Structure 1
């Protein structure tokens, strides 16, 4: 049933949001010259998939977890995209394709070995990763791998259609911070 809603909502989001996607792509072209960010992430059953987002950082930024990235690498337009969560919109394509769900554990990078190990131990990879979930609306990010994996497990075990919608609504209205870049210096 959740997959049905993933397909319906991602398709509607892509169709209805097409003008916004085109506008953000055009602005992104002027901002970085390459508005779409592609990154290989750990998916369901630990299979790789290419995650799509709007680029929020300079092109030469190192491929590290968000909490390890330098805040200086985020562009002015990138700050806007992150604050409004509009940088996540291209992931609707990942949801439509079946790589992701709207609700699930945020997909990590393959170089986040501690997080991957913690999630594997808790069978978090049995489900599709998501755009949002319990950890994101609770402000828990990837800087605490064991806690994140435990919250992911809890979400998976308790996920109902009601919670699915609750996490989506909480994300849309701005609850939680999810993965955030820590300002340095």
Structure 2
């Protein structure tokens, strides 16, 4: 169902792809937008237990698109170093495909918000994080993206550099 990567030497392992997802703080969500135009929007997220959680307003383009078609993709760029003398870039990125859903159940929504808030405010006391959640709970929407397929890739130069480090 999902295409295999052509450049097998550049494929990240699942563990490496998860590390990219855990390091990242922003990615691009792609949905099937209005009139079948792709709609890709950058957003903050948290990766947790093979799912991605993000928040948004209770109305908008991405919610309309998800309501029409739950199938989405999400991309995180971990590295993008332009190397002018080599006419290339040293890159590392991960793309996931999955199904997105709006969390309607209050307990699920609250847990997802707790995971997100903890990710972005790890040094705040739990009571402070919970206060922030309470303040915004009624006006925020939480989306859960269940990952069906994850694929990571990096520049061949980074692959070679890793080999040199392990030898």
* TM over 0.5, shorter chain: no
By percentage of residues, which structure has more strand?
Answer: 2
TM-score, length of structure 1 as denominator length = 0.24
The structure carrying a bigger helix percent of its residues is 1
Give the number of the structure with larger relative contact order, counting CA–CA contacts within 8 Å between residues 6 or more apart: 2
TM-score, normalising length: structure 2: 0.25
